[in-house]
Structures are given as C-alpha cells and as structure tokens.
Structure 1
Amino acid sequence: MLTPGLSLEVWGDPIEHSRSPELHAAAYRTLGLDWRYGRRRVDEASFADELATLGTDHRGLSLTMPLKGVAHRAARTLDRRAELSGAVNTLLLAPDGPHGFNTDVGGIARDLAAHGFAEVDEARLVGSGATATSALMALAELGARRVHVCARRPEAVAPLAELGSRLGVTVAAERLDAAAAAPVPLTLATLPGGASLADDVADAVAAHGGTLYDVVYGHWPTDLARAWQRRAGGDAREVIAGIGMLVEQALLQVRIFVAGDPDAPLPDEDRVLTAMREAVIAH
C-alpha cells in the first residue's frame, strides 16, 4: 500500500517555467493519492546539499536542466536508458538510496508513435546536446538504422556516433549551416527554445526534412517551425510541438513514483493520461 501524504518535487535552474507540478498534480488527483508535488530552484553546486536534506516523506524528484548529469552521478542504480544516455531526469528516493531513470527517451518514443511514427528507418536530428542523446535512443527504439545529425560543430557529433554504434544506428554528421541534402521522413529538433537560426539555414533543413518533431513546447513557434510553415505555405500539419513528449515522459515518472517501474501501467491509465493532457492544455 502506498504511503499517504508523500512529497515530490521538480528541481532545476531556472524552474519557474516547469509544467511538471500541473501534470503530476492532475495524475495523483485522478489516482486518488494525496501526494504533494512542488518545485525548487536548485543548481549543480547545491544539488548534493539539497538532496541530503530530504526526509523519508519524499518519494521522488523530477530533474530538469542543468541537473541531469549530477543526478546521474548521484543515483545508486540506473535503468538502461539512464545508463546509456548519461542523464537522469527522475530519481526514486528509497531507504537504500536514490534510483535513477531517464523517461525522456520513452516520452519521445511514445509520442512519436502516437503521431504515426511507431516505426522509423531513417531520420535527422538537429542539435547535438543532451536532448539529442535521448532523441537518438528513442529513434533506435523505434527501429531507426541511420540518423543524420545537424550541428554547428560536426566534431560535437562524435559522442552521438559512439552511442549510435552501441545501439546499431549509423550516425552521419552534417553541418547545420550547409544544405541538408539527404531527404528524410522525419526531423527531430532538439535545440533549446531560445535558440536562433537564420532563415536560410532553417529553410535548408526544412527543404527535405519530412515531418518536424520539435521537442520545444514553450518559445513557440521556433525558427525551424516557422521554416516548415513557410515550406508548406502556412500549413502546420507537418509540425509537431513537444508538449506531447512532456506529458508522456511525466506519465512514465508517475509510474515510477507509484510502482517503482516505468513499464508498469497505472490503474485506469487512460483516464490519468487524459487528465494530464487537459492540465497542460488548460494553461
């Protein structure tokens, strides 16, 4: 039986923008759990001290930037996605220590499948940071065998190429400021929300990019989303924002906090997922 009155939080810096409190509150309300979910501004330097202050009433943490690396190092155990990605966005707090998970990978994969991409053979990634790592893993789980990575510095693609070799995915580096020649059915943009791209660069990526899946859900539309809309004459049907990924990864976090397992479905999960979607759409 789950303990009543437990506390959970999302940590990061900045943290004011986080939608996690709305998502999690909707889930626990639907599940009939009187759990509290708050937010706390925590940076890398203060992470260990803040973690040490948590008592037994704390069930878990959601981690956003810049804490995914330090949370990875703090975890006593790691699930496979966290181990391969080097990033933890979820800590389950237990008497034997924190257990780390990466639900970003599953969140991207589940949302892509919901938009008709349950199987992907080839795709393009824009960006080479931590989110690109999770996106590459999601594409691998959906069957991708070749992924082109556009980056401002092609040498930054090397860690993704190494990970790709472990996943059975060929990673090809492309310069972001050069025309993307190879046509693909799907492009995943993993750039931060405030990232700026010149129109000619964005248009070159859009020219043969298939459907755009942009992990950004704030700062909308992004420069790439605008380029896709220019290509399609204003038709936004081939542009998918990251709000669905946000909801899906949070659902996996709720599974972890409730059952300790991201693969264990929740009671009446469809109703929980609907409540979570409605919570973010309403704001």
Structure 2
Amino acid sequence: MASAMRCAVLGDPVAHSLSPTLHNAGYAALGLDWSYDAVRVPAGGLAAFLAGLDETWRGLSLTMPLKREVLDLADEVTDRARLAGAANTWVRGERTLVDNTDLPGAVAAVRERYDGPVHSATILGAGATAASTGLALCELGATRVTLLARSPERAAETAAAIRRHPAEPEVVVGSLADDVASGEVLVSTVPADAQTPDLLARCTGPDAVFEALYEPWPTPLAALARDSGRALVGGLDLLVHQAVLQFEMFTGRPAPLAQMRAAGEQALAARAGA
C-alpha cells in the first residue's frame, strides 16, 4: 500500500473534530503519503457516501449520528461492535469491516490515569459513547453500572448493550436530574452546559472522573475533579487511544502515539488561545 491513500472522519457536526490533526500527525511521523479529512455526513446519508468512494479510500472514523447507522453497511461487523451496538471505524480491505475502537480505547485511557479498583460506576448520559464506555468499565471489572439519563426510554438501548457483556453486569437506570453518582468511576458523556452546579454537587463521590469531552476544556466536571485531586481521564485521552487503534487498522503500521497526542494537545491549546 505504497500509493497515497485517503481516510476521513464522518459525522454531523464534524468540523470541530481533532481526528484529522491526530491521524495526519501520525502519517507525517511515519513518512506516509496519506491524507485524513473531516467530512460532514448527516443521518441517513452514510450509504450514499460509501457508494461514492473509489479505491483510494482506506478507512473512516464515524462519530454521531452515524455510529449505529454504519452497522448495516459493511461485510463484516466485529464482536465488540455488535456488543456495543455501535461502530466508530470502517475499514476497506478485500471485504469492508466495521469495528468499535472506543471500547478498548476507553479501557486504555482509564488505566493510563487510574490504577484503582473498578467494581461499580456511574455514567452521565445514555448514547453510543455511554454504551462503549460502560462496556469498557465492565472490562475493567465493574459488575454494576448506573446510567443517569434524562428519561428511562432514552437509556434502554444503551442499558441493553451493557447488559450483553459476558460478565452479566447489573445495569440500573436513574435520573440525571435527581440521582447521586456512586461507585469508583464516574463517566460523563453529557454536554458541558448540562453540567450544572446541582449536577456537580451530586458527582463528588467517585475516586476517578472520565470526562468524554475534550472541548471545551476543562468542563465544569473536569475542573471539579482536578481541583479536588481525583484521577481525571480526559476526552483527549480517549480520542488518542481509539485513534491509535484506528491508525493501525488503516495503515498496518504501529501508531506513533506520542506524536499524535502532542499534535492534539497543541491544537487544543491553539483553540483555547484563539
């Protein structure tokens, strides 16, 4: 695969994504004549986009709202993507394959920052990222996962995905508006503007906080965790670790993690300065 190849991240919105920065930094570090772009593809538009790709396209990263839509648009779906009910990675080979690197990426991100026990955990929000991180927590040992959602109906699909983990965890659905976070790890997948003082006051118990966002940074929850001295896993940690796995799937080469992370940190610092 010596010729120039193309990759991209797809979603809506997608212009804010740091994925092009990370992947292109990896290509540069390894001297690969590859390119990685951000392309807006709205819900319902993925099949048409895939149909228009030529043989120069090697891989795609999928963000919302396409992580569940892509499951029906590949020749092969990995076990972990089926388990999560969502995929964030599309790879073209002899057959097209979709995978979920958010799950192992979340495991790596947590263990990089927190080496304590994980018996139970609370997740704020109930979308595709909540499903992947919930399964990652089960990989780390959690036997009880609490989802705090705006409504039980919104959490049903994610709760079902986490319950499918071979460890058969107990999954409890609670109220984002009223309930208190419990367990050793707290994961937030909700927007920064939803992190109200009332919510923060109910999130002081867990030993580690995993903030899935990387912009704006720090979020109110991340700032609270940092200032209280708790272990803090950031959205950039997750993004880098899942991108490293994608990079290796796309290129077949070991990913330069340090260079990819540094590029992401520099880009976020530049945005903050601007």
TM-score normalised by L of structure 2? 0.89
Whether the 8 Å CA contact 1:151–1:175 is kept in 2: the answer is: yes
Distance verdict in 2 for CA 1:68–1:203, change over 3 Å? same
Q: What SS does structure 1 have at the residue aligned with 2:145?
A: strand
**Structure 1 residues 208-219: aligned runs within 5 Å:** 208-219=205-216
Query: Aligned AA for 1:217?
Result: Y
Percent identity at matched positions? 35
Q: Does the 8 A contact of 1:9 with 1:37 survive in 2? A: yes
2:131 aligned to which of 130, 133, 143: 133
| Structure 1 position 257, deviation (Å) | 0.5
Determine if contact 2:113/2:231 at 8 Å carries over to the other structure.
no
Equivalence for 2:263: 279
- Which AA in structure 1 matches 2:33? D
**Distance change (3 Å), C-alpha of 1:41 and 1:161:** closer
1:110 paired to 2:108? yes
Q: Is the 8 A contact 2:88 2:98 kept in 1?
A: yes
Could you give the per-residue CA deviations for residues 113-163 of structure 1, whole angstroms, max 9, x where no partner exists?
A: 111247522111111111110011111111211112211223433333333
User: Does the C-alpha gap of structure 1 residues 9 and 242 become closer, same or farther in structure 2, counting only changes over 3 Å?
Assistant: same
Q: Deviations over 1:217-249 (max 9, x none)?
A: 0022324335546xxxx3455433211100000
Partner Cα distance (2:16, 2:257) in 1: 21
* Residues 209, 72 of structure 1: alpha-carbon distance in 2 compared, 3 angstrom cutoff: same
1:67, 1:195 → 2: CA distance?
23
TM-score (norm 1): 0.86
Residue range with higher mean Cα deviation, 151-160 or 73-82: 151-160
Q: How many residues align?
A: 265
Q: C-alpha offsets along residues 54-84 of structure 1, whole Å, 9 cap, x if unaligned?
A: 1111111111111112211111111111111
Between stretches 58-67 and 36-45, larger displacement belongs to 36-45
* 2:90–2:97 CA contact under 8 A, matched in 1: yes
RMSD of aligned C-alpha atoms?
2.0
Which one of the candidate residues 135, 142, 167 is aligned to 2:140?
A: 142
Deviation of residue 197 (structure 1)?
3.5
Aligned to 1:176: 176
Show the counterpart of 2:17: 18
Query: Are the aligned partners of 2:8 and 2:59 in contact in 1 as well (CA < 8 Å)?
Result: yes
Secondary structure of the 1:207 match is coil
Q: Any idea what the Cα deviations from partners look like across 1:245-279, whole Å, max 9, x if unmatched? A: 000000000111123xxxxxx44x5xx00110111
Given candidates 210, 226, 246, the residue that maps to 1:253 is: 246
1:16 is paired with a residue whose SS is coil
Aligned partner of 1:240 in structure 2 is 233
Structure 2 residue ranges without an equivalent (≥5): 268-274
SS of equivalent residue, structure 2 residue 68: helix
